[in-house]
Amino acid sequence: MLMEYLRVLEARGWVRVPVTLDAGISFFAHGEHLLDRIQVFNNGRWSHHHFDGTSWLTHAKARGDDEASLDAYLTKHFRSGGK
């Protein structure tokens, strides 16, 4: 499942953020949207979080369980396609 998400994210210019611990979550960021991150969980779910100036919001702004929902969400909320 991660590979399908990677294809969607990479096509839109989102890159994987290196982390030191393997917590079963991958984080992705985009240079034009540095206050936003996409999290992809090993269980096949994704979520979008936004930095509010002091912390990442504890509740996801959006979530889904397949690459089509991620692609649709990025298209709707990041109109430039993320690029």
Residue 82 lies in a domain: no
Mean pLDDT of 5-18: 94
Q: State how many domains the chain has.
A: 1
Q: What are the distances in angstroms from CA 43 to CA 5, 15, 47? A: 12, 20, 12
Q: What is the residue range of 37's domain?
A: 2-77
Residue 19 lies in a domain: yes
Query: What are the tens digits of pLDDT across the range 34-80?
Result: 899 999 998 889 999 999 888 877 778 889 999 999 999 999 998 65
pTM over 0.75? The answer is yes
Q: Are 57 and 49 in contact (CB under 8 A)?
A: yes
